[in-house]
Structure 1
């Protein structure tokens, strides 16, 4: 076996099971692997992810937290863990925690529009609709290839700063 006592091969098999739609079997393997390697951020992230895919958001949270507290995640996995945890907090109605997590994610990965979009949803949930609209309109203006929107990009970006402005 390669890796720490077969960790690499076991993790790869479990991820493959999840990707193949055998999520419950993947979950069982990942929970066991996580128990064997409690300080392994990558194993914790994959374990959180499989719980999310099964609709077990509450069970995913501690694994996401463990993954983000550890080291060894690639930048892509760290971004995914921040998005996953923030989105999971929002799904569970833990809106302030969602805003904090997703805000941290946007600070760490300022170009990630998925993080910004989920942050906008969480901002809405905490009653910050103005900030949510500003963020979404900015993402829309900067990323849309729709010719109808491109023509109005400067106006959308202008109004994104303050929807209440009267000129």
Structure 2
């Protein structure tokens, strides 16, 4: 049972909206002329009011949220779902745990399915009740050395939803070429 559903929803919303390129290891640099906000952000910042001191918060929910490294919403209109990754494990060998989550309702939160532990993952092609997970994985070789960068694809399927229907109780993950 979720003790703080509104806090959890606020965290999920914040995490879904935020993605620091440092943690996701993405180096996409936006075109400076692409929008006015980007151009304004390149000017040096100067203080425009008094500083506020902020203390840390010791909260298990925030500890979990801080592990989120990437969020990718699905375009399937009825799914109300997203992929997300949590950092953990040995970062030298995988450590980006991918999950698929379907929103149930505010009282229950999300139904979460583990997809695997990868070096990196990205969302590939999508369709109703289906998407492709593109991954890079590492493993230990026969001689005990690390083998990294193995590209693998998986087709993830679930019962397509219509608005108001419950999320799936299971999914399938199939290796793909």
Same fold (TM over 0.5): no
More strand by share: 2
More helix by share: 1
Q: Which has the higher contact order (CA 8 A, sep 6+)?
A: 2
State the TM-score, normalized to the length of structure 1.
Answer: 0.27
State the TM-score, normalized to the length of structure 2.
Answer: 0.26
